[in-house]
A and B are shown apart, each in its own frame.
Chain A
Amino acid sequence: MDLDPNLRNVLYLAAAVLFMFGIKGLTHPRTAVRGNMLGALGMLTAIVVTLIDKQMLGWGWIIGGLALGSGVGAYVAIKIQMTGMPQLVALYNGFGGIASALVAGAVLHGWIHGAADDGLSIFELIENGGQSPTQAVVATMASGLIGGITFSGSVLAFAKLQQLISGNPITNPLLKIANGLCTIGAIGVAIMLFMHPEQVGWYWALVVLSLFVGVFLVLPIGGADMPVVITLLNSYSGIAAAATGFVLNNTVLIIAGSLVGASGLILTKVMCVAMNRSLTNVLFGVMAEVGVGPSSDEIYAGKVKAASPDEVAMLFDTARKVLIVPGYGMAAAQAQHVVRDLANLLESRGVEVEYGIHPVAGRMPGHMNVLLAEADVPYDQLKEMDEVNATMEQVDVALVIGANDTVNPSAQEDPTSPIAGMPIIDVGKARTVVVVKRSLSPGFAGIPNPLFAANNTLMMFGDGKKAVLELIAALKAG
């Protein structure tokens, strides 16, 4: 059956409104589950409207595709561990991108086929369909280009995060040349496609070149900068969907795609601000010039004080307010559950416990919060960086576990430091700092941390999980 076009577009509008309410629900943890369901309902609406609207012919293809995609998606969603969330989101970004590129390609093939059947030029065919040929062809170009870049870039980001390949930045002057050639080639091919859309080979050539551009985009970016890459590719996947909306004259694609595009851009900015780096700086893999800073020997010599679990337990015995500052190292050591046990024990003794979360504490925006929520830490205990910094003077013990660069005072005090200007959780202002760490080895930025040698800092050396377990035992014994 064919729906009345007005009814169809109203139903698509309803789907788009559901998406907006869905994202609005995410503005508070209490309403978030419902919000996500509204979003899913919007998607169901859009799919059902599409299926009953068009005279669908290949039901085999449709049902097969829906079933296969849903099955794989559901399986992965159930199996994935929370630490693997960045990889998963990276991969899904890529899937969205390539789907958009394939749809634009399929539509172009359809136009060429239809034009040949009717003995028209492809421009005439599009115009007869009530669409601007320029819009249609330019949007097709954009879908192929952005979709291709999103796919290969995301797959590479996935491989780096999953450690299928080295997470180190790969920089080589030859790569830059190759990237330049591919970009120029893509522009040339895009122009040819614009002039000769009836030659579909130009479209696929554009997609292939875009795949190369995506690879060259992500290769020079190191592991620490991956959050920015994921958020940016998230944005691209939305823009690719919006471009496909312009190919098909479909409003729900345009609205949903632009929502996602905006979301990804905002998060990209949040991540860049949290690292005090510009987007170009991240994308071209440039770290600030490393000044001839003090060596780790100069900073640490004779000043680092190690403490046993018993000594640290005594500190906690007299504390009234404790701030826990987790880093990805905590999750890597699978220590979040024992950290929560420690927090519960302290709370049962009347100690006020909060968590201070740096925006780049995990491997993607908000990642640390999810990891702690999984360990049953209530969300009202998770505080943002600015909030905990404002009350740091009242903290008796700040427990830093698995974090390093995000608590490095050099970022604020040493303008020649590679991380100069990066906002930090300023634990040094707390009365006492306890750092749980295996050794004095540097973090991602590769620089020593003067916090470890500060007068009010005690180092508790050891594996994160084991150290916290010992601390709990000492507290219970004491």
Chain B
Amino acid sequence: MELFVLLLTIFVLAVFVGFEVITKVPPTLHTPLMSGSNAISGITVVGALIAAGSGQTILVSILGFIAVVFAMVNVVGGFMVTHRMLAMFRRKG
């Protein structure tokens, strides 16, 4: 199978898994879901690290560096603020 088709298969299946799992998240937790999934979208930091560390040209390193900064704000800020919110949810008594 050509690599592209394989990746496309992964993409489509992941979308379906995403729909199945996320529709079960109750409205009470929709804000933490958004900030948490936001942190997950910072996964692009993986690509940013590869670019920043590639050592190809100074321009590639700088672009990678800026991308690492933006993505890490997203990752660290997202997970931490989600934790802060979730810690507030407690049961009666």
Chain A residues with CB under 8 Å of chain B are 16, 19-20, 22-24, 26-30, 32-33, 35-37, 39-40, 42-43, 46-47, 50-51, 54-59, 61-62, 64-66, 68-70, 72-74, 76-78, 80, 82, 85, 88-89, 92-93, 95-96, 98-100, 102-107, 109-110, 113-114, 130-132, 135, 230-231, 234, 237-238, 240-242, 244-264, 266-267, 270, 357, 359, 362, 364-367, 369-370, 373-374, 376, 378-382, 384
Q: Is the CB of B15 within 8 A of A262?
A: yes
Tell me which of A103, A106, A130, A238 contacts B41 (CB under 8 A).
Answer: A238
Contact residues in B for A88 (Cβ distance below 8 Å): 35, 77, 81
21 contacts across the A-B interface (CB closer than 8 A)? A20-B17, A27-B24, A27-B26, A30-B91, A37-B83, A47-B46, A62-B53, A69-B74, A85-B35, A100-B47, A102-B63, A102-B66, A102-B70, A109-B56, A258-B15, A258-B18, A260-B38, A263-B34, A263-B37, A378-B91, A384-B27
Could you tell me which residues of chain B, from 18 to 47, have a CB within 8 Å of some CB in chain A?
A: 18-19, 21-47
Tell me which of A23, A51, A64, A242 contacts B37 (CB under 8 A).
Answer: A23
| A130 CA / B36 CA spacing, docked (Å) | 34
The chain A residue with its CB closest to the CB of B31 is A366
CB distance from B60 to the nearest CB of A (A): 5
CB distance from B72 to the nearest CB of A (A): 3
| A461 CA / B5 CA spacing, docked (Å) | 63
Q: Is the CB of A256 within 8 A of B73?
A: no
The chain A residue with its CB closest to the CB of B92 is A378
CB distance from A164 to the nearest CB of B (A): 19
Contact residues in B for A99 (Cβ distance below 8 Å): 42, 44-45, 48, 67-68, 70-71, 74
The chain B residue with its CB closest to the CB of A21 is B21
Could you tell me which residues of chain B, from 47 to 66, have a CB within 8 Å of some CB in chain A?
A: 47-57, 59-66
* Interface residue B1 (Cβ < 8 Å from any Cβ of A): no
CB distance from B15 to the nearest CB of A (A): 5
The chain B residue with its CB closest to the CB of A374 is B88
**Given contact pairs A256-B43, A259-B22, A376-B88, a sample of 20 additional A-B residue pairs in the complex whose CB atoms are under 8 Å apart:** A19-B43, A23-B25, A27-B29, A36-B82, A39-B40, A51-B53, A64-B65, A69-B69, A72-B69, A80-B81, A99-B71, A106-B64, A132-B2, A240-B41, A258-B14, A261-B15, A365-B27, A370-B85, A370-B88, A378-B90
Number of CB contacts from chain A to chain B under 8 A: 393
The chain A residue with its CB closest to the CB of B49 is A50
How many residues of chain B are within 8 Å of chain A by beta carbon? 83
Contact residues in A for B77 (Cβ distance below 8 Å): 72-74, 76-77, 88, 92
Contact residues in B for A23 (Cβ distance below 8 Å): 18, 21-22, 25, 33, 36-37, 40
Knowing A103-B44, A369-B28 touch, does A61 contact B64 (C-beta < 8 A)? Answer: yes
Q: Is the CB of A260 within 8 A of B40?
A: yes
Knowing A43-B39, A259-B14, A266-B22 touch, does A58 contact B53 (C-beta < 8 A)? Answer: yes
Tell me which of A95, A238, A246, A248 contacts B50 (CB under 8 A).
Answer: A248
Q: Is the CB of A74 within 8 A of B76?
A: yes
Q: Is the CB of B43 within 8 A of A369?
A: no
Q: Is the CB of B81 within 8 A of A259?
A: no
Chain B residues with CB under 8 Å of chain A are 2-4, 7, 10-11, 14-15, 17-19, 21-57, 59-93
Q: Is the CB of B33 within 8 A of A106?
A: no
| A64 CA / B52 CA spacing, docked (Å) | 10
Contact residues in B for A30 (Cβ distance below 8 Å): 91
Tell me which of B41, B60, B73 contacts A69 (CB under 8 A).
Answer: B73
Q: Is the CB of A370 within 8 A of B34?
A: no
Q: What are the 10 A-B residue pairs with the smallest beta carbon separation, nearest first?
A: A69-B72, A57-B55, A366-B30, A65-B68, A73-B77, A262-B18, A73-B76, A56-B53, A365-B30, A77-B80
| A42 CA / B40 CA spacing, docked (Å) | 9
Tell me which of B14, B38, B88 contacts A93 (CB under 8 A).
Answer: B38
| A182 CA / B64 CA spacing, docked (Å) | 27
Contact residues in B for A76 (Cβ distance below 8 Å): 73, 77, 81
Q: Is the CB of B40 within 8 A of A379?
A: no
Knowing A76-B77, A102-B66, A382-B28 touch, does A29 contact B86 (C-beta < 8 A)? Answer: yes
Q: Is the CB of B40 within 8 A of A259?
A: yes
